[in-house]
A and B are shown apart, each in its own frame.
Chain A
Amino acid sequence: MEEKTATILVVDDDKDIVAAISKLLELDGYNIIKAYDGIEALEKLSENEIHLILIDVMMPKLDGLSTIMKIRASKNIPIIVLSAKSEDTDKILGLSIGADDYITKPYNPMELTARVKSSLRRYMQLGDIGTISKTDEIKIGGLVMDKQAKSLTVDGAEVRLTATEYKILELLMENAGRVFSAEEIYRKVWNEDAYAVENTVMVHIRHIREKIEIDPKEPRYLKVVWGIGYKVEKIK
């Protein structure tokens, strides 16, 4: 199936926003189906073959979260939540009930298209490869690190990393969720005593982020724990 012909269901009670998103995505060549509340979304979903859903949380009749739960009962398609709620708790809740991504309003249109694209790509590839993962493979969300090939793919697209960047990312991904201080990273990657290495490590981290994150300012995978260190988020 070609990416460009993917059908996307856009659900929001604000018609103008639906229209704007539709236009934006249509420009990228997607098919768009619109719905204005949760019930309508479920109807449209049963009537059409949908490859991705963009859904608002606060909606009349049936709210976004309930709709997602209903969809997840039968379908595995990617769901991106689009919400004005920017609290961490809202994000965690949305992701935990089955959403694949969470974009806060007001969104950056570029970012929106990028995320839609990456989610779709991941979904398609997942269909090809299946759920079987190799033993030497570390998978965190859309990040897949093949330790034999020393390669990294982000949502199926290969990313080129320098050797140091790869080593740092490998360390962090292997210990996903754990926080490493700059010294620790330096000692483990460079095998040297660390002294005032904050900058060195940070620069590398920044570069990695720019390569793997859609929005480096709001990283999804590689995060700075201010005042403590760095970590890769643990995502299933």
Chain B
Amino acid sequence: MKTAKRRRYLPKRIRILCFILACINICASLFAKGYVHVNQYIEDVDFSDTTYSVVTDNRYKKKITDTYEQLCILGVCSLADMNSEMEYQGNKYLMEDLLYYFDYNDYKYKRTDSGILPVSDDFDYYVSYTLTDDETTDEETEDREDNVRFITNISESVINHNMTEDERLDVLRNDFHNYLLRCKDTMTSDMLSSNITETYRYRDAECANTSNNEGLGSIEENYPNNYLPLGGWYYDSYGRYIYYFGNMDPIKFYKYPENSGQGVKARVEWQKDTDKKRRYDPFEFDREFADDYNNINYRSDMVYIESLDDYEAFQGSTKELTVFIAPKEDIIKNYEDELFARMSLLYINNNIMRITGVLAVLLVLLLMYSSVMQGIEKTVDIEFFEQIPSDFLVFGILVSGFVIISSNTYELVASNVLILLTFISIFLFSVLNLIKRLLGKRFYSTGLMPVILKKYSTTELFKERRKINLGRRLRSRSILLLSLIALCALILFVFILLGDDSLVLLVISLAAVCITGILGISVLILNIVNANQLIKLENRIAALNDHEDFKDDVSEFSPVYLDMENLSNISDSVDRAVEEQIKSERMKIELIANVSHDLKTPLTSIISYIDLLKKLELDDEASSYVKILDKKSQKLKDIVADVFSMAKATSGIDVDLTKLDMVMLFNQFYADAEDKLKNCGRTFKIDIVLPSATVMADGNKMYRVFQNLVDNAVKYSMDGSRIFMDITENDGYAVFTVKNISSYPIDFTADEITERFVRGDRSRTDGGSGLGLSIAKTFTEACGGKFEIVLDGDMFKAVVAMPIVNDDIVDDGIVQNDDPK
């Protein structure tokens, strides 16, 4: 009662719904999980900070750093050596080194009349250098403005030469967003710091008067993530300029005093020492000096230039440098759109996590409920869960198992715990269900394949396909594969012939090879499967041939199913035929029995009353009639008995084959009949060659054979003549022969005499039923022997040949020991 009520509260449909929800839950969880994996770094960001900027984005960070470095170096190297006409006045080798470095790093730039102009798609920039002339120290602003050299990709309507440096900076600060500005060795920005700092490490010249051996110190500076390092440059006593604005590794240049001999010498000197380093700083090596370089003998003891005694480094000034970078408007817009989309996805994701948590709780409750109910009702409530294909269960185990294992490494926040719980419950449910199925041997039958196959079996296509037998399928499949291979080969041939220029041909030939390969493999697999079916078919045929039962049935999807059915039908019809044969045989025997009964009953009366008649006092005439009646009735009795026994023997029933000795049988017979034979007025010549002859026969039947043949010989031989009887061996047969000379001319054939009711002497009426020889023949043949009548003139010869069996064979036909010979 109670359980029935409970059942009503949670009917089947709701349970199904719960299960579907759980499935959605799993999918959602998986999605959320995967998404979190991809975007994990976003979790670190505080989304309430609206200043979250393109500049701090990792994708742009490198570009910004590169651009910044480019601009700084350009400012210090190029702009510092420009005259008021924006013409470069400095060392041309230095400029070459610089450009080499730009090319090496794939920095984009173009050469213009006013020097090198960096190209940037993403950023607006402005770089300026204020020349400080020691000689002219007048404070005139106009003069000072003349000393400012700048390049920019911002349009002239915004920034131009007519403005003062301060005006330009104001415009830049006000009109641009997310900018970074370096000015007078300080970094400024319109963005708030996200408090994440980045560390920049580089070498630095301590100062000119440092007297220790190492002229360089290592500097480690921390900057907030939206700030770039200030960096700087130094020059050493070997004429090198080293820059360190953004990159970890400093950039090293040479300054050649007007391409003088000392310059070359200094450079070559240094190269000798730092030969190995060349590989890591390729721009240190100038091709122009490759010849010089090649002429230099290597020195095995290598000395770093920094550790030379006379090495000195001097800090260069960067106070005059101003660099401004701001992302272009469309970049910012794109980035904001992207950011918004990403954040809303994350928002959805968070909500999904919440929903999956709730669903997970629901599912766990459902599963608990279901198992509790099963326990209470002691019935297996499987009607729905049973319908989940086994494949899904296996999949469920794999997926949930994987999630459970991989979950261990993550923080167990609330939503994660719920997801984990869901997967654990699914895992347990699947495992339990699967074990149940395996134990119940329902694993395969509840799988996806059998279900699909079942559905497929009801389609028209299946019915059509079934009519095609396996041989035809194999043939068409092979032909298809063969033509595919041929086509593939043709395409490859054409491809090779035309050369590998054409991409289309390459794709086509690759596709052809792939399709052929896949098809070929699947055809091979199919063939193996079909071969197994063929083996089954062969076994079936063999079983049919041996009249054995065949248990190994094929499914109705097997290509040999119809053949199997046909064979089964053949087998059935053979069985039916045999059964009918047996039935008709039995009917025949019954008929014989009935006929014999019907004949015997009146005969019994006749014989009985004749006997009674004999006991009466009759006159002589009547008495003689009764005698005749008596004789004839006895004869009739014999005939009926003979016909009956012959019919039985012909039908093969009542023949009991045992191992017996034919010679002994003859002796027994002869002894039994001796008295009668001695008084019949014939002479018997008996010649038994064999000491014994073991044959398989029915003793009673063989006795009748001997009896009939000898009776026959006595009956139809001349009085006083000789009758020959002998037993010999001939070709594995024990042969019994009876010979006599007929007392009257033989006017019948050997075949005729053994036909039923045919008698040699039609005139004689006494004795025998006329079945003697027929019975002898029938009985001999029923025992597996051969019977033959040979007529030669007046000589009548009956031959009975029985196959001799090995003495070692016992009655059940098993050979116990072989003849040692």
B263 at the interface (CB under 8 A from A): no
Rounded to whole Å, the gap between the CB of A89 and the closest CB of chain B is 9
| CB nearest neighbor in B for A224 | B668
Residue in A58, A110, A225 whose CB lies within 8 Å of B699: A225
| Interface bits B686-727 vs A (CB < 8 Å: 1, else 0) | 000000000101011011000000000000000000000000
Q: Which of B599-628 contact A (CB under 8 A)?
A: 600-601, 603-609, 611-612, 615
Rounded to whole Å, the gap between the CB of A120 and the closest CB of chain B is 20
- Find out whether the CB atom of A226 lies under 8 angstroms from the CB atom of B607: no
Instruction: Give Cα A167 to B603, complex, Å.
Output: 42
- Find out whether the CB atom of B597 lies under 8 angstroms from the CB atom of A85: yes
A158 at the interface (CB under 8 A from B): no
- Find out whether the CB atom of A23 lies under 8 angstroms from the CB atom of B612: yes
| Interface bits A86-113 vs B (CB < 8 Å: 1, else 0) | 1110000000000000000111111000
- Find out whether the CB atom of A84 lies under 8 angstroms from the CB atom of B699: no
Given contacts A20-B609, A198-B667, A202-B667, contact A228 B661 (CB under 8 A): yes
Rounded to whole Å, the gap between the CB of B706 and the closest CB of chain A is 9
Residue in B604, B675, B702 whose CB lies within 8 Å of A84: B604
Rounded to whole Å, the gap between the CB of B705 and the closest CB of chain A is 10
Rounded to whole Å, the gap between the CB of A57 and the closest CB of chain B is 10
Given contacts A23-B612, A181-B664, A224-B668, contact A16 B605 (CB under 8 A): yes
- Find out whether the CB atom of B668 lies under 8 angstroms from the CB atom of A182: yes
- Find out whether the CB atom of B703 lies under 8 angstroms from the CB atom of A226: yes
Given contacts A84-B601, A199-B670, contact A227 B664 (CB under 8 A): yes
B93 at the interface (CB under 8 A from A): no
- Find out whether the CB atom of A228 lies under 8 angstroms from the CB atom of B664: yes
Instruction: Give Cα A201 to B674, complex, Å.
Output: 13
Chain A residues within 8 Å of B637, by CB: 106
Given contacts A20-B609, A227-B697, contact A87 B654 (CB under 8 A): yes
Given contacts A105-B600, A227-B702, contact A86 B605 (CB under 8 A): no
A54 at the interface (CB under 8 A from B): no
Instruction: Give Cα A160 to B608, complex, Å.
Output: 32
A24 at the interface (CB under 8 A from B): yes
Q: Which of A183-218 contact B (CB under 8 A)?
A: 198-199, 201-203, 206
- Find out whether the CB atom of A228 lies under 8 angstroms from the CB atom of B605: no
| CB nearest neighbor in A for B645 | A86
Chain B residues within 8 Å of A229, by CB: 664
B140 at the interface (CB under 8 A from A): no
Q: Which of B16-49 contact A (CB under 8 A)?
A: none
Chain B residues within 8 Å of A224, by CB: 668, 672, 703
Chain B residues within 8 Å of A16, by CB: 605, 608-609
Instruction: Give Cα A24 to B610, complex, Å.
Output: 11
Most buried by B among A27, A84, A227: A227
- Find out whether the CB atom of B668 lies under 8 angstroms from the CB atom of A202: yes
Instruction: Give Cα A87 to B674, complex, Å.
Output: 28
- Find out whether the CB atom of A17 lies under 8 angstroms from the CB atom of B667: no
- Find out whether the CB atom of B601 lies under 8 angstroms from the CB atom of A206: no
Instruction: Give Cα A20 to B609, complex, Å.
Output: 6
Given contacts A27-B615, A202-B672, A206-B672, contact A84 B664 (CB under 8 A): no
- Find out whether the CB atom of B601 lies under 8 angstroms from the CB atom of A105: yes
Rounded to whole Å, the gap between the CB of A216 and the closest CB of chain B is 10
Q: Which of A128-142 contact B (CB under 8 A)?
A: none
A49 at the interface (CB under 8 A from B): no
- Find out whether the CB atom of A20 lies under 8 angstroms from the CB atom of B601: no
Chain A residues within 8 Å of B604, by CB: 14, 17, 84, 105-107
B524 at the interface (CB under 8 A from A): no
Chain A residues within 8 Å of B73, by CB: none
- Find out whether the CB atom of A202 lies under 8 angstroms from the CB atom of B664: no
| CB nearest neighbor in A for B637 | A106
- Find out whether the CB atom of B658 lies under 8 angstroms from the CB atom of A198: no
Residue in B593, B597, B609, B660 whose CB lies within 8 Å of A228: B660
A222 at the interface (CB under 8 A from B): no
Chain A residues within 8 Å of B661, by CB: 227-228
| CB nearest neighbor in A for B605 | A16
| CB nearest neighbor in A for B699 | A226
Rounded to whole Å, the gap between the CB of B103 and the closest CB of chain A is 118
Residue in A24, A107, A110, A227 whose CB lies within 8 Å of B665: A227
Q: Which of B578-612 contact A (CB under 8 A)?
A: 593, 596-597, 600-601, 603-609, 611-612
Given contacts A17-B608, A86-B644, A228-B660, contact A198 B703 (CB under 8 A): no
B223 at the interface (CB under 8 A from A): no
Chain B residues within 8 Å of A88, by CB: 654
A173 at the interface (CB under 8 A from B): no
Instruction: Give Cα A109 to B637, complex, Å.
Output: 13
Rounded to whole Å, the gap between the CB of B226 and the closest CB of chain A is 116
- Find out whether the CB atom of B600 lies under 8 angstroms from the CB atom of A226: no
Instruction: Give Cα A225 to B596, complex, Å.
Output: 26
Instruction: Give Cα A206 to B611, complex, Å.
Output: 28
Instruction: Give Cα A22 to B461, complex, Å.
Output: 84
Residue in B606, B612, B641, B660 whose CB lies within 8 Å of A226: B660
- Find out whether the CB atom of B601 lies under 8 angstroms from the CB atom of A17: yes
Given contacts A17-B604, A84-B597, A85-B597, contact A202 B671 (CB under 8 A): yes
B669 at the interface (CB under 8 A from A): yes
Chain A residues within 8 Å of B702, by CB: 226-227
Instruction: Give Cα A181 to B668, complex, Å.
Output: 10
A21 at the interface (CB under 8 A from B): yes
Instruction: Give Cα A109 to B654, complex, Å.
Output: 28
Chain A residues within 8 Å of B670, by CB: 198-199
| CB nearest neighbor in A for B648 | A87
- Find out whether the CB atom of B674 lies under 8 angstroms from the CB atom of A198: no
- Find out whether the CB atom of B671 lies under 8 angstroms from the CB atom of A206: yes
Given contacts A198-B667, A226-B665, A226-B699, contact A24 B611 (CB under 8 A): yes
Rounded to whole Å, the gap between the CB of A96 and the closest CB of chain B is 19
- Find out whether the CB atom of B605 lies under 8 angstroms from the CB atom of A14: yes
| Interface bits B622-641 vs A (CB < 8 Å: 1, else 0) | 00000000000100010001
Instruction: Give Cα A84 to B598, complex, Å.
Output: 8
Rounded to whole Å, the gap between the CB of A111 and the closest CB of chain B is 11
Rounded to whole Å, the gap between the CB of A227 and the closest CB of chain B is 3
Instruction: Give Cα A108 to B641, complex, Å.
Output: 14
B662 at the interface (CB under 8 A from A): yes
- Find out whether the CB atom of A20 lies under 8 angstroms from the CB atom of B703: no
Instruction: Give Cα A14 to B668, complex, Å.
Output: 40
Chain B residues within 8 Å of A23, by CB: 612
- Find out whether the CB atom of A199 lies under 8 angstroms from the CB atom of B660: no
- Find out whether the CB atom of B608 lies under 8 angstroms from the CB atom of A24: yes
| CB nearest neighbor in B for A200 | B671
Instruction: Give Cα A31 to B518, complex, Å.
Output: 103
Chain A residues within 8 Å of B700, by CB: 226
Instruction: Give Cα A116 to B349, complex, Å.
Output: 112
Given contacts A198-B667, A226-B660, contact A24 B612 (CB under 8 A): yes
- Find out whether the CB atom of A182 lies under 8 angstroms from the CB atom of B664: yes
Instruction: Give Cα A202 to B664, complex, Å.
Output: 11
| CB nearest neighbor in A for B610 | A109
Q: Which of B404-459 contact A (CB under 8 A)?
A: none
Instruction: Give Cα A227 to B593, complex, Å.
Output: 28
| CB nearest neighbor in B for A105 | B604
Residue in A21, A86, A198, A226 whose CB lies within 8 Å of B608: A21
- Pick 8 A–B contacts, CB within 8 A, sort by A: A21-B608, A24-B608, A84-B596, A84-B601, A84-B604, A108-B607, A201-B671, A227-B668
Beyond contacts A106-B606, A225-B699, A228-B660: 6 other A-B pairs, Cβ-Cβ < 8 A, are: A24-B611, A105-B603, A182-B664, A198-B664, A198-B668, A228-B661
**Chain A residues close to B by CB (< 8 Å):** 14, 16-17, 20-21, 23-24, 27, 58, 84-88, 105-110, 181-182, 198-199, 201-203, 206, 224-229
Q: Which 10 A-B pairs have the closest CB atoms?
A: A202-B671, A227-B660, A226-B699, A198-B667, A227-B665, A20-B608, A109-B611, A84-B600, A106-B604, A105-B604
